[in-house]
Amino acid sequence: MSSNPSKPHGLLAEFHTAADIFEAAIRCRDAGFTKWDVHTPFPIHGMDEAMGLRKSPVGWFTFCGGFTGFFTGMTMIWYMNKFDYPLVVGGKPLFTPLFAFPVSYEMTILLSAFGTLFGMFFLNRLPKFHNPLFKNERFKKSTDDRFFICIESADPKFGLEATRAFLTEKCHAAVVELVED
């Protein structure tokens, strides 16, 4: 997003079908834009490749969460039942990973889930309540049945007239509008 308030945020192009936006996304990718995005009411199959996105790294956050969870579970049980206050029950060992497993397993899943959720929020920079796109009335349809491409003015290849022509003529957008920052 541009920090200069006099500059526009970008150009917003509206499409009516999944196929139209899919073709348009391929053209935008091939035209070499970098600061642009596709907004759709549901994820379109194959759109990541059409946009040329890399694979989502959310899994790493899941892994870190899960690793922490398992390790925390095992350490906690060892510390509580063997180290800090040795608790003899039925003459069984004070600690083995066997009886510690169910709790550690649940902790693995719990922290993996938190890792996944917050990792996704972090990668998507959510929550983000201010967005210039929200000022556009048409854009409200992006969560209903319309499809949008927004090319930001911060993109090095952005030129107001050239990009507008590109979206209308090459991408066959139904409507192209300027979005103020």
Partner 1 sequence: MASPGKSAAVKAPEPPAELVREPLVLNNRPLGWITDAIAGVCEKPMPVWWWPAFIISVGGMITMFSLIAYLVSTGVGVWGLNQPADWAWDITNFVFWIGIGHAGTLISAVLFLLRQKWRTSVNRAAEAMTIFAVACAGIFPVFHTGRVWFALLPGYLFPAPNANEIWPQFRSPLLWDVFAVSTYGTVSLLFWYVGLIPDLATLRDRAKGWLRRFFYGLFSLGWTGSNRHWSNYEKAYLLLAGLSTPLVLSVHSIVSFDFAVSVVPGWHTTIFPPYFVAGAIFSGFGMVLTLLIPLRSLFKLEDVITLRHVELMCKVLLATGSIVGYAYGMEFFIAWYGGSPYELYAFKNRAFGPYWWSYWAMISCNVISPHFFWFKKLRTSVVFVWIVSIFVNIGMWFERFVIIVTSLHRDYLPSSWGYFTPSWVDVMTFVGSFGLFMTLFLLFIRFLPVIAISEVKGVTPQADPHHPLGGAKGHH
Subset of 12-71 contacting partner 1 (CB under 8 A):
16-23, 25-26, 30, 37-53, 55-56, 58-59, 62
Question: Which segment (2-10, 76-84, 157-165, 173-181) binds partner 1 by CB under 8 A?
Answer: 76-84
CB of 160 to partner 1, least distance (A): 22
Among 4, 128, 156, 161, binds partner 1 (CB under 8 A): 128
Nearest in space to 104 (alpha carbons), one of 83, 78, 125, 134: 78
Q: What DSSP state is assigned to residue 144?
A: T
Nearer to partner 1, 128 or 169 (CB): 128
Question: Which segment (3-11, 138-146, 151-159, 162-170) binds partner 1 by CB under 8 A?
Answer: 138-146
140 binds partner 1 (CB under 8 A): yes
Helix and strand element counts for the chain (H, E): 5, 4
Strand partners, 10: 152, 179
